[in-house]
Amino acid sequence: MSQRCNLCEKKDDCLNKLEAPQAIKDRLIGACKKNGETKLGNLNADNLVLCSCALGKHLASQKIGLRTNQIRKFLNTVIDLNGAISMKFREGKITEEEIRDQALMLEPQLAWAATRQYRQVMPLHDVLVPCIEVVYDAKDFKRLNKFIEAVVAYHGFHGGREK
């Protein structure tokens, strides 16, 4: 049974407007725009938390039924990449182009997962692909990592299935 988080209580109207993946995606990408640039690193914490809560809740719903292990596999890949990118970035051994390439290579993984379990994974795919497409540097990649971690956390909080 899902619990009710403080965010849901404080922002019911806003969360109700973010029930569909398209609305979540639009809010996320809109929040990434700053000074004429659209970058995931521009996403502030308020929008990250609100959108991750809405997406986690949507994915945990009986209508979608995404299992925790399905989303966790993807998160683990992103965490591993984030660690490697951070280390190489500190050492000056990775370019922004290489970071972008690494991010874009996550899209086929999501596509494959969506092919195998369309109903469960496609809403996640529909939100994450536009986020991946606005990753240009290490800061953006770190924000992607934080967003996916938060989605997994809210998915479990809202009753997402383990198996």
- 124-143 mean pLDDT: 96
Determine, yes or no, domain membership for 39. yes
Note the pTM of the prediction, 2 decimals: 0.88
Domain membership of residue 126 (yes or no) is yes
Find the domain containing 22 and state its range: 14-157
Q: How confident is the model at residue 18 (pLDDT cuts 50, 70, 90)?
A: confident
In a domain, 1, yes or no: no
In-domain check, residue 67: yes
Q: How would you class 14 by CB atoms within 10 Å of its CB: exposed for 0-12, middle for 13-18, buried for 19 or more?
A: middle
Total count of domains within the chain: 1
Q: pLDDT tens digits, residue range 25-80?
A: 999 999 999 999 999 999 999 999 999 999 999 999 988 889 988 888 899 999 99
User: Above pLDDT 70, what percent of the chain?
Assistant: 89
Is 2 part of any domain?
no
CA dihedral of 123, 21, 153, 107, whole degrees rounded to 10 = 50
Decide if 102 is inside a domain: yes
